[in-house]
Structure 1
Amino acid sequence: MTDPTVSDEETMTEGAAAAQEAGVGREFLRVSLEDLAEAMETRQSEYANPDEPLKFKIYRGLPRRPLTTRVPGVLGAVEALDDPALSTLLRYGYGISRQEFDTNGTWPYHRMVASARCLFAVQLYVCLADGVYHYDAPHHALVLLREGDHRPLLARATGTAGAPPEAVFVLSGLFAKAAYIYRDYAYRLCTQEAGLLTGNLDLVARAMGLRARVHHQFLDEPVNKLLGLDPDEEPALVVLPLHLAGAGAGDPRRTETETAAALSATVDPIEPQVVRSGLAVARACPRLTAVNRASFRTDTAGFAAAEPAPPVRPAVAVGSGREPLALPATEVPDPDLAQVLRSRDSGPGIFRPVASRVDGLALWARLARTRTGVGSDAVPAGAPVPVEVYLTVADLIGVPAGCYWLDPATGALHPVGPGSPTGPGTDALTAIERVTIPGPVFQHMNAVVHLVVDRDWAFDTFGDRGYRVLNQEAGLLAHRVCVAAAAQGLSGRIVNAYHAEGVRAVLGLTEERYAPVFQILLARTGPGGRVIVPVEPEAAE
């Protein structure tokens, strides 16, 4: 919990306070994306760090609801979100997939979803008809936080009406889990991870015949109070109602305005459960605290109406003399999602590809499918996600090497970029390598995906909450990209250590408003010195 002896003013540096006046969300995006030296200047070692919290958030002394471990090996449609279905959804949506043992022992636990250094900063809360729960992933159980049906309150907090959902999931960012290493930069990591988890929960829900509605906009105070969260230490980031297919998941807007103060007054407080850590986030992370607080919503009248994001188009994608590649009519079956999630991998600590031959046409087709819209308050239902996919091909069967923009309407690949901002004759992959901070090995890399957003659209539409929206929408798509890669045996490594200006140059993007917020390396990798122990589900009959 935040140190009560530290005032708000004392948590802010002069620079952070000035940034807040100028638009703290925009400024934080500039620092966290464009100026890595400044973003990482307070980074701490992950080894022998006295601020390191426990690996998992565990509630003690509260009623527990064990979930069955007998979950199906293949995901299929369900008729109700009963206990077995809920167990399956949580197991594949958020559960632990394996343990890894290596020489340093710092990344032992892995989920179905990528997490920065496996820190698992994002927590999952489940609101059902009988109560509000925290999902205890390592023990695959629900911990009861408060009794009663609070789904109507969450509908009011999101400014929506309509049929009650089967359940409402809430994702929160437990900042200390990442901030003990990354300090202020943890806000980028937590919002990215919230998007990745949202993307996975959506995929698993779809496979089970459920439909999710993503709410980036909601009244923060009552949602945090409902879950017993300290808004400086662990704020709610995403509200995700789940409906059975065809049960009216459109979530029409309420006509009356709700205020955070009035709705919060209807919620009895519960004591926040704090993960043991030597870190007081509000004091140690002034920039993070400033952008987090600036994003809070106080009434539903201020929620932005859903409008499509303008397309992010490279300067030379059209009319460059290089013809687009039409998506071939390739028959690519849907993957066994359960198996893909169990095998999904970000590669070893040092991302070191091995030489491999990969069907580029199949990967291309799978990437084209990721563009289907998800019900979200960031865009109209069914519209493409407001994030553009750029593909740099190094070695894919059937796709020439080079940089491409993936047309969300047709699936065509448009050649883009001048080819090299670093000198004549430089191939596209080498150009990307040169604007990536040294670490991953690029030899034998198959491809690199960049996800690009329009930062001006996000901040003009959502204000300082736009930082969350950008990272969470891009994270949703990033997980789909990683699943598409995993379906073909590729590791997908999300790498934030790149120079955004250099990436824009390689991709032919001439305006700074276009922000490459994700870089994902795709290749086959070896074990890299790891001993991997999968946590296989006990198959249901």
Structure 2
Amino acid sequence: MQQEALEVVREYAQAVFRRARVPMEPLNYEVDWADQPSRHTSYPGAPRVPLPVALPDLPTLRDLFTGEHLPPPGGWSLDSLATLLRLSYGVLDRRLTVNWNQDLAKRAHFEHAVWGRGTASGGGMYPVELFLVAGPSAPLLPGVYHYGTGQHVLERLVLGDVSDTVRAAVGDPAGDADSFLVASIRFWKNSFKYNSFCYHVVTQDLGALLGSWDLLARALGVPLPRLLGFDPAPVDRLLGFDSDRESAFAVVPLHWAGAHPDGDPAADGGTGPDGGTDLDGGGRSVGHGTAGERPGTEIRVRYPAFERSRRLREFPAVTEVHRAAAAPAAPAPDALANAAPRELPGDPLDLPAPQLERLARPLSTVLATRSSSFGRFRRPPELTAAELGTTLAFATAGRHHPADVGPPGDAPALTRLWVFANHVEGLAAGTYAYCSGRHALLPAAAEPDGGMSAFLQQQYFLTNYTMGQVGAVLAIAGRLDAVLDAVGPRGYRILNAEIGAVAQRAYCAATAQRLGCGAVLGFDNVAMDEALGLTGTDERTVLFLLLGRHPDGTADLVYRL
């Protein structure tokens, strides 16, 4: 069974990497934009708990990079949770920008407006759903809550302590936590546009979110271990999911500041964040959608999520690879240590030291102003080698983090950054491997015949970027087959999560330096791998980031919320 699942994952990945040459089925798929799902999932009828909207002063990216001026470690509070949710996945502003996207004209109309968020998402689909499973020590009533991204509220779906269900699913890594953040993926929110390509995109979306959470957790002084190797079935049942359409992908155990030692929710009067007391004198929950299940009945979410689409399609490739990759990861100790990209021979070229002063912007400001470039790159002036190096250094600095499945802290990371230098002041055009330990670039190949701009444009099969205006293309690569051999089919999700997190950190570094950045999946991976000398190896490029400058004067509208 394990071998069959591995073959399914490998075949899907191969189809993804070759899709520029062999289109993925269904062929000639047309997006029904009129029947697209809502960008903001909601549960009509569920009681709502408003979250704090005020944002604290957060450390700068420089502080996060150097480890200086960070808050002391502590526990979670409702305020810190609200900050994490809003800055990572909540709506922060409405944006209208003149760019090269083909749907630009209709974005001036409210029903087609673009709403900015702190974390990047493929196509702006935002398919991740966030749930809080609150236990007895939480600062609000025990139960299951859904984060409403559109209104920055928690929707209470179950009233009562069901944290044991999640704890049993994730096992020992949960420790003594009695509350959990659960990140699920609702496939239709992405697949309606990207069909069979969906699974590749959404697993990187999850990683981008986790990348934001890693930064925010350090800035807030709270622990945030990511659990990715668990069996999702019990959590899916609790949340009322059809696992082929939506499934839990990540769990984060939460420890609350000032939690009562015995976890008694009535110790502080049983008052919820909205001031309403939902406990009777004996500490029993009453009203407000209490589970009310008969003895022996499985407690789970009964509220149905609102679905805007009249027709929901399932794509066999997505269903098959999800079922295969859902097998829990059970790696041998240090199994992933040997799945990192291999050392490369040669003499690297030292990069200028990271420009720490360019990173001196608060994380909250960086996330609130992060955006994708969508063809707005303009040169001159050129991207400098120092700006490129600062972006590379910050992007790779967070690749080791607390997790249940991952390489040891002293082992090489699972990803490598490659550089297609196009127009970089102080760096010859060509391809390079970034050596993070030395902060240097190892030359891989000279500029292609006809020039780097022409090569990149030929390999890019979309129309929203002109490569002649781009300073550099960063390629995030990994050894997928080695990761699959180490942890099984779940390795596909684990590697893509790492790749998404690196991309989000690169976005943040570029934003702090006031550079343009755009993540794309529209390159011919086979040709890009060949240009880097990866043909015949098990290392592959997976995700690409365009880096460059925006013009100083632009016709942009940003309405902050």
Instruction: Name the TM-score, length of structure 2 as normaliser.
Output: 0.79
Structure 1 residues 469 and 304, CA, compared in 2 at 3 Å: closer, same or farther?
Answer: farther
CA displacement 1:191-246 (0-9 Å, x = unmatched): 1111111111111111111232222211110111222222111111222335589x
Q: How far apart, in 2, do the equivalents of 1:43 and 1:529 lie?
A: 36
- Contact 1:110-1:118 within 8 A present in 2 as well: no
Query: For the residues of structure 2 that align with 1:243 and 1:382, how far apart are their CA atoms?
Result: 26
Q: Give, in whole Å, the separation in 1 of the partners of 2:372 and 2:408.
A: 32
Are 2:103 and 1:119 equivalent residues in the alignment?
no
Aligned to 2:67: none
C-alpha change, 1:25 and 1:64, in structure 2 (3 Å) is: same
Letter in 2 for 1:94: Y
Please give the alpha-carbon distance, in whole angstroms, between the structure 1 residues aligned to 2:210 and 2:6: 30
Show structure 2 runs of 5+ residues with no match.
60-69, 97-103, 136-141, 260-295
Which amino acid is 1:55 matched to?
A: R
Instruction: Show the counterpart of 1:269.
Output: 300
Determine the C-alpha separation between the residues in 2 that align with 1:217 and 1:70.
34
How many Å separate the matches in 2 of 1:366 and 1:96? 26
State the 1:167 CA deviation. Answer: 4.8
Judge conservation of contact 1:40–1:182 (CA < 8 Å) in 2: no
Does residue 452 (structure 1) correspond to residue 458 (structure 2)? The answer is no
Q: CA deviation at 1:483?
A: 1.1
Distance in structure 1 (CA, Å) of the matches to 2:192 and 2:514 = 33
Q: Is the 8 A contact 2:77 2:256 kept in 1?
A: no
Letter in 2 for 1:394: N
Give the aligned partner of residue 144 of structure 1. Answer: 156
2:91 is equivalent to residue 96 of structure 1: yes
CA distance in 2 between partners of 1:413 and 1:456 (Å): 25
- Matched position secondary structure for 2:317: helix
1:341 aligns with 2:336: no
Q: Which range moves more in the overlay, 432-441 or 204-213?
A: 432-441
Contact 1:174 1:235 in 2 (8 A): yes
Aligned to 1:256: none
Please say if 1:393 is aligned against 2:421. yes
State which drifts further: 29-38 or 519-528.
519-528
Cα deviation for residue 149 of structure 1 reads: 4.1
Taking the aligned partners of 2:161 and 2:130, their CA distance within structure 1 comes to 17
How far apart are 1:500 and its partner, in Å? 1.0
Aligned to 2:213: 201
Counterpart-to-counterpart distance in 1, 2:130 and 2:535: 39
Instruction: Tell me the alpha carbon deviations over residues 368-414 of structure 1, each in whole angstroms, 9 at most, x when there is no partner.
Output: 23323122312224644311111222233443432211113222211
Of 183, 192, 199, which aligns to 2:195?
Answer: 183
Whole-angstrom CA distance in 2 between matches of 1:384 and 1:107: 42
Residue matched to 1:443: 468
Deviation at 1:52, TM superposition (A): 1.0
1:330 is displaced (CA, Å) by 4.5
Structure 2 distance, partners of 1:522, 1:476, is 17
CA contact (8 A) 1:210 1:242 kept: no
TM-aligned CA distance change 1:529 to 1:443, over 3 Å: same
Is residue 2:401 matched to residue 1:374? yes
1:280 is aligned to 312
The answer for the alignment partner of 1:214 in structure 2 is: 226
CA distance in 1, matches of 2:224, 2:297: 26
1:174 paired with 2:168, answer no
- Corresponding letter in the other structure for 2:490: R
| 1:210 match: secondary structure | coil
- 2:479 matches 1:485: no
Corresponding residue SS for 2:131: strand
Distance in 1 (CA, whole Å) between partners of 2:171 and 2:5 is 28
Quick one: structure 1 residues 368 and 384, their matched pair in 2 at CA, closer, same or farther if it must change by over 3 Å?
farther
8 Å contact kept, 2:351–2:441: yes
Q: In the alignment, which of 8, 24, 29 is matched to residue 39 of structure 1?
A: 24
Cα distance, 1:140 vs. partner?
0.7
Structure 1 residue 134 corresponds to structure 2 residue 146: yes
SS at match of 1:187: helix
3-state DSSP of counterpart to 1:365: helix
Contact 2:339 2:486 (8 Å CA) reproduced? no
Work out the CA distance in 1 between the residues paired with 2:57 and 2:30.
Answer: 39
Partner of residue 444, structure 2: 416
Indicate yes or no: 2:249 matched with 1:233.
Answer: no
Q: Equivalent residue of 1:25, what SS?
A: helix
**8 Å CA contact 1:431, 1:506 repeated in 2:** no
Match of 2:106, SS state, is: coil
Q: Distance in 2 between matches of 1:228 and 1:406?
A: 44
Count of matched residue positions in the alignment of Structure 1 and Structure 2: 486
- For residues 176 and 26 of structure 1, what CA distance do their matches in structure 2 show? 23
Which amino acid in structure 2 is aligned with residue 533 of structure 1? V
Distance, in Å, in 2 between the alignment partners of 1:243 and 1:406 is: 37
Distance 1:133 1:371 in 2: 34
Moved more, 126-135 or 286-295: 126-135
The SS at the match of 2:172 is: coil
Q: Which residue of 2 aligns with 1:85?
A: 80
Q: 1:158, 1:219 within 8 Å by CA — same for their partners in 2?
A: yes
1:289 aligns with: 319
Distance 1:42 1:305, change over 3 A: farther
Is the 8 Å Cα contact of residues 235 and 248 (structure 2) preserved in structure 1?
A: yes
- Supply the distance in 1 between the matched residues of 2:441 and 2:170 (Cα, whole angstroms): 37
Change (3 A) 1:277 1:241: same
Report sequence identity in percent.
28
Aligned-pair distance for 1:151? 4.2
Seen in structure 2, the aligned counterparts of structure 1 residues 55 and 507 have a Cα distance that, compared at 3 Å, is same
Query: What SS does the corresponding residue of 2:337 show, helix, strand or coil?
Result: coil
Q: Which moved more, 1:385-394 or 1:271-280?
A: 271-280
Query: Structure 2: how far apart are the matches of 1:53 and 1:209?
Result: 36
Match of 1:7 in 2: none
Distance 1:170 1:380 in 2: 24
- Is the 2:431–2:446 contact (alpha carbons within 8 Å) kept by the matching residues of 1? no
- Give 1:512 deviation, angstroms: 5.1
CA distance in 2, matches of 1:445, 1:374: 31
Amino acid at match of 2:218: R
2:271 matched residue in structure 1 = none
Larger mean Cα displacement after TM superposition, 527-536 or 515-524: 527-536
CA distance in 2, matches of 1:390, 1:183: 29
Give the aligned CA root-mean-square deviation in angstroms.
3.0
Verify the 8 A CA contact 2:207 2:501 in the aligned structure 1: yes
Residue 492 and residue 151 in structure 1: after superposition, are their counterparts in 2 closer, same or farther (change >3 A)? farther
Q: Deviations over 1:234-275 (max 9, x none)?
A: 111222335589x9xxxxxxxxxxxxxxxxx99523235252
* Residues 470-504 of structure 1: CA deviation (Å, up to 9, x unaligned): 21111111111111111111222111111111111
SS across alignment from 1:464:
coil
In 1, the alpha carbon distance for the partners of 2:497 and 2:454 equals: 29
CA distance, structure 2, for counterparts of residue 210 and residue 380 of structure 1:
21
**8 Å Cα contact 1:113-1:200 kept in structure 2:** yes
Name which one, 1 or 2, has greater alpha-carbon Rg.
2
Deviation at 1:50, TM superposition (A): 4.5
